Amino acid sequence: MIASPRSLVIPRLGVEAPVDAVGVASDGEAEVPDDARRVGWYRFGPAPGAAEGSSVIVGHVDSQTQGLGVLAELSDVEQNDRVEVRAADGATRVYRIVSRETVPKEELADSGVFRRDGPPVLTLITCTGPYLKDRGGYQDNLVVTAVPESS
């Protein structure tokens, strides 16, 4: 059994955040921790280090009451940037960024980011795009994909 993730580290960006297990919010979207300094691992999908599927970690870009979120600089990642996921069992899983894309929020669920099969990847998600208060906030998600680093 693969241990739950404990922390997310993106060294080049100076990001280090505790990880909470999250599920599905009442609106049908993936939950995001209330604390903008924490990220959430979507517990209904594969854990980081699984042999297949997309391990999803979500976090805030910002918060009206807490300021910038821990993933505020996620749009600055570059191809081959290192991402580390430290697990509760002490293991560290290392990934390299391979892509960054913007996905409209209404298309995220059907975009394949929550897949449970196929090659193993780590998928990092935060908000981006225009913030339209009258339409519920940010209109898009930034989706960053990383693959396991080869040994």
CATH of residue 36: 2.40.260.10
Q: In the structure, what pLDDT confidence band is assigned to residue 69 with cuts at 50, 70 and 90? A: very high
Instruction: Report the number of distinct structural domains present in the chain.
Output: 1
Q: pTM of the prediction?
A: 0.94
* Cβ neighbours of 41 (radius 10 Å): 24
Mean pLDDT of 111-132: 94
Range of the domain at 134: 5-148
Helix (H, G, I), strand (E, B) or coil at 75: helix
Q: Is the pLDDT higher at 20 or at 3?
A: 20
Residue closest to 81 by CA, chosen among 14, 146, 7, 4: 146
* Structure tokens, 106: 């209404």
